[in-house]
């Protein structure tokens, strides 16, 4: 009878057999975990999927839609000023982040000019990295100064809370000679959590 490892080597081939053996060995040592990899991938995907969209149309005194809040980290900023968003006159607009006022963040020098007849059909996107604080945005086209607002960016929570609360339990009551409780006993449970608190 052949040894099981020889059967596995014959069935999967030498390369796949060694890869499988190494992967199993690392899993036993705790150096590799598919669950851990999944959590990291999920966080990266969530960060990359943050899309913030501004839209404009015929009005020169306001954006038709604009986000108010975001989370610090990577983000895709989309600015659309097209027929689809209500621009019927071909009016150009910009989405510009201010970088000269010390009251606001100045680390994203964004300046997008969009109109329905441009090469992108009025819809533009750009990848940025946002930091905690406030960004002032506005349109720089003369006469469009009322098109402005503030985007507030908060700290990234870093994903799910994986630290369990600290708990304790005490029991009070009368005991018999064997240490068993007689009649009624009162159990007091306490818990604390530095991250999210305990309700």
Answer yes or no: do 97 and 129 share one domain: yes
Q: What is the DSSP letter of 84?
A: G
Residues 14 and 91 in one domain: no
Are residues 69 and 136 located together in one domain of the fold? yes
Whole-number pLDDT of residue 48? 52
Rounded to whole angstroms, the Cα distance separating 123 from 112 reads 10
Residues 115, 19 within the same domain: no
Question: What is the domain range of residue 136?
Answer: 48-154
- Domain count of the fold of the chain: 2
- Answer yes or no: do 38 and 68 share one domain: no
Same domain, 73 and 128: yes
Give pLDDT, residue 141.
97
Does residue 66 lie within any of the structural domains?
Answer: yes
d(CA 77, CA 11): 51
Residues 86 and 117 in one domain: yes
In the numeric block, which tokens belong to residue 129? 């990295």
Task: Give the pLDDT of residue 161.
Answer: 63
User: In this structure, is residue 162 part of a structural domain?
Assistant: no
Give residues with Cβ within 8 angstroms of 194, minimum separation 6.
Answer: 163
- Binning the chain into helix, strand and coil, the percentages to the nearest 5 are 20, 35, 45
Q: How far apart are CA 153 and CA 67, in angstroms?
A: 11
Please name every residue paired with 95 in a beta bridge, in sequence order, or none if there are none: 112
179 domain residue, yes or no = no
The reply to whether 55 and 106 lie within a common domain is yes
**What CATH number is associated with residue 90?**
2.60.40.420
Mean pLDDT for each consecutive 10-residue tract of the chain (199 residues)?
46 46 43 40 55 98 97 97 96 97 96 97 97 97 96 80 78 90 88 72
Q: Enter the tokens of residue 187.
A: 């159990």
Question: What are the Cα distances from residue 95, in Å, to 8, 61, 126, 128?
Answer: 61, 13, 11, 14
Residue 124 lies in a domain: yes
Residues 13, 102 within the same domain = no
Indicate whether this model's pTM tops 0.75.
no
Indicate if 90 and 108 belong to the same structural domain.
yes
Distance between CA atoms of residues 59 and 142, nearest Å: 13
Q: Are residues 41 and 52 in the same domain?
A: no
């Amino acid at each position: 009878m052949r040894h099981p490892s020889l059967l596995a080597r014959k069935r999967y081939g030498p390369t796949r057999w060694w890869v499988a053996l190494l992967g199993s060995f690392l899993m036993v040592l705790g150096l590799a975990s598919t669950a851990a990899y999944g959590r990291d991938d999920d966080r990266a995907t969530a960060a990359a999927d943050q899309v913030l969209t501004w839209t404009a149309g015929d009005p020169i005194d306001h954006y038709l839609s604009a986000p108010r809040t975001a989370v610090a980290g990577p983000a895709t900023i989309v600015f659309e000023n097209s027929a689809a968003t209500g621009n019927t006159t071909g009016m150009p607009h910009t989405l510009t982040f201010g970088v000269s006022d010390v009251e606001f963040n100045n680390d994203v020098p964004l300046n997008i000019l969009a109109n329905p007849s441009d090469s992108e059909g009025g819809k533009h996107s750009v990848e940025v990295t946002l930091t905690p604080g406030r960004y002032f945005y506005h349109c720089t086209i003369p006469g469009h100064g009322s098109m402005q607002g503030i985007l507030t960016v908060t700290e990234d929570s870093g994903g799910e809370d994986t630290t369990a609360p600290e708990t304790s339990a005490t029991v009070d009551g009368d005991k018999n000679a064997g240490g068993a409780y007689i009649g009624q006993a009162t159990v007091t449970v306490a818990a604390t959590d530095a991250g999210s608190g305990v309700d």
